Structure 1
Amino acid sequence: MTTATDTLRTDAIAQYRVLGEETDPGLEALARLAATVCATSAAAVNLIDDRLQHTVAVVGIQPGVCSRDDSMCAVVFEDGQTVVVDDARADARFADNPFVTGPLGHVRFYASSPLITPDGVAIGTLCVFDDDVAELNATQAEGLELLARQAVDVLELRRHSHELVRSNDQLTQFAARISHDLRNPLTAIAGQIELAADALAADDTEGATRSLSHAEAAAGRMDGMITSLLAFARLGGARPQRAAVRLSDIVADALDDLESAIEGTHAVVTVDAPSDGLVSGDPALLRVLVQNLVANAVKFTQAAGVSPVIDIAARPSGDAWTITIDDNGPGVAPELRERAFSLLDRGNAGDVPGLGLGLATSRLIVGAHDGRIVLDDSPLGGARVRVTLPSAPVLTP
């Protein structure tokens, strides 16, 4: 029967990604050094799960896999102690073992030191053995223990290397996500600067000043967005910092950043977000959320050949607020709604430009705020995105 400890051990071994792979040179070198230090003909690094012993590095014999019931190391490795047996035939723990009696080997001398992970899980041994009776002095035993700790260090290095590769993959995805989320405020800044230049060319100083002020506000929002997104990435999407956030302000800022996209598609956007609608969250991340959802609604509706109509509403719902974003676009088929939230999965997007990051980012942000996001049918005929976020205490003047 598999125990909880066996499960922990199996999980720990899996993290090292060494089973079924080519022999790690570091582990092989340690096995060779152990045989030299202990003056034996053979040495092995064995990892032991709930059923099998996996020899992942060896010198003096062929590597292989055996049943845990046949393993000599499995008898003693969970004790966490170095074991030295001069003659296995005279030791009751090993006298009937097939590695001693002949079917699998003729081991006489046996010594092992357990491999203990930094979390305290025994996962196997570094063992040395010989067909002749022998002894191990204190210095050799200490050397075996040291080499066993080094074997764990090698395994940990493997694990961290794989984590680094995975982190690099996540970083690549995050870089795409950052560029996606910054595109709208950057477009807003560029548009306002262009308007300011046109105003200056027409000697409209007041208009130029107004446009530059809008550009400065968009730049400030973008700076806050970058700061929050980077902090969010460092935390791996964990809980962001919280404050009382007014939904009407978040929607207004998001629409300012989307001004060019909205005007370019002649979208009609209506907003019904009461000023007392307060949620608990990070304002920059929530602005990214609303920006992504409105931009998606405009983009997919326009791509369907329809003049976009977008309704944004916020309503109290117990101890939470529910924000709905409705559009008159093609909608999302029920069987595709869950899949639409997957990173880089664009569902039935067809030729609509983009990387499929908007909804994936939105779900990540909503989840980090202890909220919920779902896709549904809209009364406008297209898609409805419904987001529920925890309420915040009422702000005092």
Structure 2
Amino acid sequence: MIQPATPLNEKERLSSLNSIELLKGVSEEEFDNITQLASYICKTPISLITLVETEKNWYKSNHGGPSIAESERRLSHCAHAILEPDDLMEVEDLREDLRFKDNPFTSNPESPILYYAGMPLLDNNGFALGTLCVLDTKINKLNEDQKSALKALAKQVEKLFELRRKNLYLEKIKQELDDHNSLLKDFAGVVSHDMKMPLANMIITADLIKARYKDHVDEKGQEHLSNLKKSALKLSDYINGILNHYESDRIASSDLVEFDFHHLLEDIIDLMNINDKCEINFPSDNMMLNCNRSALEQIFINLINNSIKYNNKEKIVIDIESFKDENFYHFTVKDNGIGIPEDQLSNIFQLFKTLYITDRQGNQGNGIGLSTVKKLVNSLGGKISVQSVLGESTCFDFSIKKSLSL
């Protein structure tokens, strides 16, 4: 018996093998299907996907072989096969080959392995990580079609390896993004909370100065104080929007509850203190919902608030419709407001993307509210879309997935 030599690129080869992070001792159907097919095509009782490590071989898939998970590399047929990474190694009678003549697998009196054919499994850099091999307890020989099929199956194993490598990379990137977003979320929360009190003091102070020193501050000074208050209020609104956006993750994870849809809308109207210059028409058919009430409430507050703010009509009219199907609740919020230019419709759900339109007070939006709405809708398993006629109306259609318990 001749022990296998060590490849010249052994360090790089092992590094590549370890980077795939294949699970030892865990059967995976996609690999087992390939070894089963290899045995069927090659008419051999045994087929293995073997990975060659420093001291051991281990079997990612073992079809028909001994019930062992690994073997010593020095006794390995596959450790010889990877020395010629581009070629299929076939030994018709292992007893006649000096490399395997006295190998314990060959001389096993109960079930000797007498035949071996193995195709090296390569990574994208050409490093041989192991083999797809077929074995027999009798002398054998593959025909050309069987050899071609074994090579093709080995390519499929290589693709599975590369797919796993890419998935691991994507998982790593996703984790890094999640960690980064978590830090940004914490930073935004801390900064926003720390800024709210100073801004409130600025607003109050501006009002106090205007009231208490009105006889000592000229018209231009009064205008400056009004602008200061207006800027502070705008910044406060912006901060609240950021907090609501990040708070939407917590809201979206709230428990599912059963509730009356009309009651939800009535609570929202009371909360927003909507006056009689705004007419909100409920769906003609009420329905009971079983979903995340807090998230749905936040969605409607944002949409109704936008319908009121971006409206130049003397009488604001908001029509709300709803229906349900087997899997989703569907909602529509339509207003008679100023509408949205067609070339800006594709941008309205982007975070911090502001439109070139102003509300009833002449203020421009901060690009947070509708982004938060879409984030909440998506987290509830639904979709949202918008249609608008400039100067006439805007209509939001969205869905949320029903509770599985229904």
> Structure 2 length normalisation: TM-score?
0.48
- Tell me which structure has the larger Cα radius of gyration: 2
> Structure 1 length normalisation: TM-score?
0.49
